[in-house]
């Protein structure tokens, strides 16, 4: 696997770019993994952290069956839309045309702020994330979707709407970073939405012209609790995934606008419960009632790294426990590796795309530590292949991003 791990190679490609995140890996990487370890047009590919569905879309287009598991309900929704089997294209075309006409009449002529006909999401600090004027345009467009599009077809415009939220907001998103940028008092919501929707419709028509793609299914849930999953598509002949990185990032931040504006989350309590179901990789969210750390409390290499971080920080952690975060993360990874193993066919490969991290100046060799956990979980580690080196500006060191190649034994 020598191709790029970034989502850049998936831009402007049919279906893959319906919704992308910077953390996504590239479609060519999945095609290469299928060619090397599975063979196109055969078998079943599993992604236990499927995110925006790159593995699933690539597997389907390669003629394979695919199963994805994802705990974030919005990302689960995005993956399902991108792997939908059938579309009623004539009806969809008519309904989308009606939607664009109605939305255009309600949004385009206005030179002032839209009338607050619809309620904004009860999202804390909403106007820091997105200007009120822009947010009102978004909820107006959301209401038009409900009025103009049948329930069976609503997923398409809803995903189109979700895909433009970040661009019309006041926030910027890059790999392993999220923050505010210059406030946008207004944004061309209708223009970018229409462009996205028309692109998706062209892709759907293109998809209908392709050879019958493989079957795909997406399950919402936490892989760590699915050791006894009863799923007809299993066992998998190959698993490929990119779990959350140990980068002290709250991954709910990446999709917070989408979660609230599409109604997957209603309030901060719902958001907290989602965070508790996700892999712990944020020092501000280690949660005392989650005890994944106990699974690795006697693994010397992990304890050594966690203790080095604790010693380096001393009392300068400001209440953010980086050592505990590290233990929690690797304990969660061990649980995930154990859960996936029964889902694999004998001798099947499990490829994990992982990056090193650094905290308090201490290098955390995540790929090699996960390889060690793989051995503990009953896999053979065939290789740790370095794919690229990322520069860490905060620590002034290079961090390797690697493919950990495990095989079920």
Among 67-71, 93-97, 134-138, 210-214, which is the least confidently predicted range?
210-214
Among 69-73, 81-85, 213-217, 266-270, which is the least confidently predicted range?
213-217
Q: Which residues pair with 70 in a beta bridge?
A: 220
Q: Cβ(239)–Cβ(350) under 8 Å?
A: yes
Closest to 132 measured CA to CA, from 190, 186, 193: 186
Mean pLDDT of 119-126: 92
Please give the distance of CA 20 from its chain centroid, rounded to a whole number.
8
Q: Cβ(245)–Cβ(370) under 8 Å?
A: no
Closest to 326 measured CA to CA, from 286, 288, 361: 286
Closest to 386 measured CA to CA, from 368, 363, 409, 364: 368
Q: What is the pLDDT of residue 1?
A: 57
Q: Cβ(140)–Cβ(132) under 8 Å?
A: no
Q: What is the pLDDT of residue 317?
A: 54
* Number of other CB atoms surrounding residue 403 within 10 Å: 22
Among 6-20, 87-101, 378-392, which is the least confidently predicted range?
6-20
pLDDT bucket at 397, cuts 50 / 70 / 90: confident
For 141-191, write each residue's pLDDT tens digit.
999 999 999 999 999 999 999 999 999 999 887 655 566 677 889 999 999
Alpha carbons 366 and 400: distance in angstroms, whole number: 9
Q: What is the pTM of this model?
A: 0.93
Q: Which residue has the tokens 């390669």?
A: 62
Mean pLDDT of 329-341: 98
Lookup: tokens for 310: 């604790």
Q: Which residue has the tokens 């952290």?
A: 49
């Amino acid at each position: 696997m020598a191709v790029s791990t970034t989502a850049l190679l998936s831009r402007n490609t049919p279906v893959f770019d319906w919704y992308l995140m910077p953390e996504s890996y590239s479609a060519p990487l999945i095609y290469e993994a299928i060619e090397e370890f599975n063979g196109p047009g055969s078998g079943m590919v599993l992604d236990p952290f499927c995110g925006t569905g790159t593995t699933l879309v690539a597997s389907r287009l390669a003629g394979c069956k695919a199963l994805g598991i994802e705990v974030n309900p919005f990302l689960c929704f995005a993956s399902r839309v991108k792997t939908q089997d059938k579309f009623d294209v004539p009806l969809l075309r008519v309904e989308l045309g009606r939607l664009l006409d109605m939305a255009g009449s309600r949004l385009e002529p206005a030179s002032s702020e839209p009338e607050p006909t619809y309620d904004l999401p009860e999202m804390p600090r909403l106007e820091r994330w997105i200007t009120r004027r822009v947010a009102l345009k978004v909820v107006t467009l959301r209401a038009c979707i409900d009025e103009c599009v049948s329930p069976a077809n609503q997923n398409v415009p809803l995903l189109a709407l979700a895909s433009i939220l970040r661009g019309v907001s006041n926030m910027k998103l890059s790999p392993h970073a999220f923050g505010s940028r210059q406030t946008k008092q207004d944004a061309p919501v209708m223009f970018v939405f229409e462009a996205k929707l028309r692109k998706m419709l062209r892709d759907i028509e293109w998809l209908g012209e392709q050879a019958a793609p493989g079957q795909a299914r997406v399950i919402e849930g936490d892989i760590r609790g699915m050791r006894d999953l009863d799923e007809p598509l299993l066992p998998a002949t190959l698993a490929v995934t990119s779990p959350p990185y140990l980068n002290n990032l709250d991954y709910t931040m990446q999709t917070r606008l989408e979660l609230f504006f599409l109604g997957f989350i209603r309030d901060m309590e719902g958001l907290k419960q989602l965070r508790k179901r996700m892999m712990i990789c944020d020092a501000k969210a280690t949660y005392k009632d989650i005890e994944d750390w106990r699974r690795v409390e006697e693994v010397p290499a992990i304890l050594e790294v966690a203790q080095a971080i604790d010693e380096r920080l001393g009392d300068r952690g400001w209440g953010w426990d980086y050592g505990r975060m590290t233990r929690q993360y690797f304990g969660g990874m061990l649980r995930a590796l154990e859960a996936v193993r029964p889902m694999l066919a004998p001798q099947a490969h499990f490829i994990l795309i992982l990056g090193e991290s650094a905290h308090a100046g201490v290098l955390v060799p995540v790929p090699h530590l996960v390889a060690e956990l793989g051995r503990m979980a009953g896999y053979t580690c065939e290789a740790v292949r370095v794919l690229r080196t990322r520069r860490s500006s905060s620590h002034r060191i290079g961090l390797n991003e690697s493919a950990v190649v495990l095989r079920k034994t």
